[in-house]
Structure 1
Amino acid sequence: MPEESLEGLALSCKPLGENDRLLTLLSDDQGVIRLAVPGARKPRSSLAAALPLSHLRLQVGGRSGLRRVRQLKVLRSYSGLAQQLEALAAAQALSELCLALVPSEAPAPGMLADLLMQLGRLDGLVRERGCDLEALAIAVQGSVHLLALGGYALPLGRCARSGEPLEPPLGNWDWRCSLVPSEGLAIGGVPGARVVLNASELALLQRLLRPNLPRRRDGELMGPLPVWLHLLELVEHWTQEHLGRKPRAYRLLRTGLAPGLAAS
């Protein structure tokens, strides 16, 4: 394969041999790809900037086997997320979810742009010393977006059993809908449900399909911490059912925000 230019986000970087790194990159055109970065572990290497959560432009060569990075340029680094545990955990969870969703060397339209949007929000949150709750909300909304882009969208439009529209009656505190991960959301309390939502929780979840986080008129984020943790639990069950695993960083995020309530 001739030398080519690639742009993407470094999802992970691992040691490779004595001085090299194995870079896992999310790109639009080729999905998740793995590349060797020669000498990247040497302090003075021009390729040492191949680090996780870096938006990179690469020049890649090699005709067979593991292709090699020849040059790189950092378009934006999100290393500052390490200053806030919850923001870093949210970023790691979204990166892990991409690894589970995106096939190797197959186009992944929209995935990179959405992930970069969420990372940009997390980076802004850290810079402005924003609240930890917002990092959790970004992780939940980002997961909803990525699942939809990856072909595993949460079915938020109709009841999985009756086919009725899922129209939560706000103000009716007796109304419920249940997540049955193998089917979707069903109106009412269903035996064997993994998560049961009230009307306001479902309405909040449905709003996460929009580009922006749900906010009140005063700009404050909608929903308290217990509600966002409840929605994270729902996303975890859906991801486990349909992908066979869930991001380990979900647990780190939950532990940081609610010690003692971490999911197993």
Structure 2
Amino acid sequence: MPRSSFAAKSYRTRGIVLRTHKLGEADRIITLLSPEFGVLRAVAKGVRRTRSRMGATLEPFMEVEAQIVAGRSLHTIIQAQLRHPYGQALVADYPAYTAGAAMLETAERLTDADADSLGAQYRLLHGALATLARGGHEPGTVLDSYLLRALAAAGWAPSFTHCVRCGAAGPHRAVNVPLGGVVCHDCRPPGSMSPSPATVTLLAALLAGDWETVDGADGATRAQAAPIVANYLQFHLERVVKSLKLVERT
């Protein structure tokens, strides 16, 4: 949402902290994802001082309720209350942390490019971080499910059940990333991938949030699905999500 749309000088919003940058000796620039206003960048003054009450609250992965004063170039966060401390669990689990970092970077890229699905994108990110923090699912599969569903919410829904060219019902063996999913034998263009049937089933389950099927997939199947998801993400964002290179898969 453009800055001119802020009706009041001061406003409140929920937000998930995507990243932070140091500013001066004691301040930080906080990048938040808000379900109403999208990606916000605001200064939090004095948060690097040990006595700051907001310092531990305004950290990546945290969901907060923030009071913000609008400014011409940067907003200013004057108050922040913690709603969900997802960061506390994620920093103690390296695979979950790296998966979460890739989610935050993707969310910022997607919502900067697409302001029409803010509410859906916020809910997806919130739910994915909560799932990571609770544990119970392999972090790499939580990430891959989030990426596919976030892309679908942005208007780039893949198909892993019907041929994306002719609509023929599957199962189909070939996957073509630029076309957006599986293709039948007759429609298969050169350069299409041929993952195992189990991998195609897993991709469909990741998109649908079918965790019984996802959790039953073996390591080799998950390893084959992950680069397909990453390539699909990169194709539509038209840029690399750097954090994906650091994701630790188990």
Q: TM over 0.5: same fold?
A: yes
How far does residue 245 in structure 1 lie from its aligned partner after superposition?
A: 2.1
2:74 counterpart (28, 52, 66): 66
Q: Which runs of 5+ in 1 are unaligned?
A: 169-174, 259-264
- Secondary structure of the residue that 1:197 maps to in structure 2? coil
How well do the aligned residues superpose, as a CA RMSD in angstroms? 2.2
- One-letter amino acid of the structure 2 residue matched with residue 62 of structure 1: A
**Quick one: structure 1 residues 44 and 212, their matched pair in 2 at CA, closer, same or farther if it must change by over 3 Å?**
farther
**Cα shift readout 1:33-59 (whole Å, capped 9, x = no counterpart):** 111111111111122121111101000
Q: 8 Å contact 1:208–1:214 — kept in the other structure?
A: no
Q: 8 Å contact 1:110–1:149 — kept in the other structure?
A: yes
2:64 counterpart (42, 56, 60): 56
- Secondary structure of the residue that 2:207 maps to in structure 1? coil
* 2:96 match: 87
Q: 8 Å contact 2:164–2:179 — kept in the other structure?
A: no
Q: 8 Å contact 1:31–1:105 — kept in the other structure?
A: no
**Quick one: structure 1 residues 65 and 105, their matched pair in 2 at CA, closer, same or farther if it must change by over 3 Å?**
farther
Distance across 2 between alignment mates of 1:9 and 1:95? 9
Identical residues among aligned pairs (%): 25
- Secondary structure of the residue that 1:83 maps to in structure 2? coil
Q: 8 Å contact 2:114–2:154 — kept in the other structure?
A: no
Q: 8 Å contact 1:32–1:106 — kept in the other structure?
A: no
1:135 counterpart (132, 139, 148): 139
- One-letter amino acid of the structure 1 residue matched with residue 82 of structure 2: V
* 1:96 match: 105
- One-letter amino acid of the structure 1 residue matched with residue 61 of structure 2: L
1:186 counterpart (183, 187, 203): 183
**Quick one: structure 1 residues 257 and 65, their matched pair in 2 at CA, closer, same or farther if it must change by over 3 Å?**
closer
- Secondary structure of the residue that 1:148 maps to in structure 2? helix
Quick check: 1:149 aligned with 2:153?
A: yes
Distance across 2 between alignment mates of 1:15 and 1:94? 22
TM-score, normalised to structure 2's length?
Answer: 0.86
- One-letter amino acid of the structure 2 residue matched with residue 222 of structure 1: G
* 1:25 match: 32
- Secondary structure of the residue that 1:223 maps to in structure 2? coil
* 1:172 match: none
* 2:227 match: 233
1:7 counterpart (14, 35, 43): 14
Quick check: 1:203 aligned with 2:201?
A: yes
Distance across 2 between alignment mates of 1:15 and 1:182? 42
**Quick one: structure 1 residues 180 and 200, their matched pair in 2 at CA, closer, same or farther if it must change by over 3 Å?**
same
How far does residue 196 in structure 1 lie from its aligned partner after superposition?
A: 2.2
How far does residue 63 in structure 1 lie from its aligned partner after superposition?
A: 4.1
Q: 8 Å contact 2:163–2:183 — kept in the other structure?
A: yes
- One-letter amino acid of the structure 2 residue matched with residue 223 of structure 1: A
2:42 counterpart (19, 35, 46): 35
Distance across 1 between alignment mates of 2:82 and 2:230? 32
**Quick one: structure 1 residues 33 and 103, their matched pair in 2 at CA, closer, same or farther if it must change by over 3 Å?**
same
Distance across 2 between alignment mates of 1:32 and 1:249? 18
Quick check: 1:177 aligned with 2:177?
A: no
Distance across 1 between alignment mates of 2:143 and 2:32? 20
Q: Which runs of 5+ in 2 are unaligned?
A: 1-7
Distance across 2 between alignment mates of 1:81 and 1:225? 22
TM-score, normalised to structure 1's length?
Answer: 0.82
**Cα shift readout 1:197-233 (whole Å, capped 9, x = no counterpart):** 23332222112233452348xxxx1211121121111
- One-letter amino acid of the structure 2 residue matched with residue 187 of structure 1: C
